[in-house]
Amino acid sequence: MTTTEIIIVLTLFGVVIGLIVSIKTILETRKKYYNEYIKRKRNEKT
């Protein structure tokens, strides 16, 4: 395996894992933020 191929493999590994973790975090954040917003609105009403 040449040096360039090693760099390509490491890059693909980094890109795939990074994208999965980032997208998961963003989706979880949106869900939590929405739930917190609903809770705050309910508390304001009462």
Closer residue to other proteins (CB): 4 or 46: 4
By CB under 8 A, is residue 14 in contact with other proteins?
A: yes
By CB under 8 A, is residue 23 in contact with other proteins?
A: yes
CA distances from 24 to 4, 32, 38, 43 (A): 30, 12, 21, 29
CA distances from 36 to 1, 9, 21, 22, 30 (A): 51, 41, 22, 21, 10
By CB under 8 A, is residue 39 in contact with other proteins?
A: no
Closer residue to other proteins (CB): 2 or 46: 2
By CB under 8 A, is residue 38 in contact with other proteins?
A: no
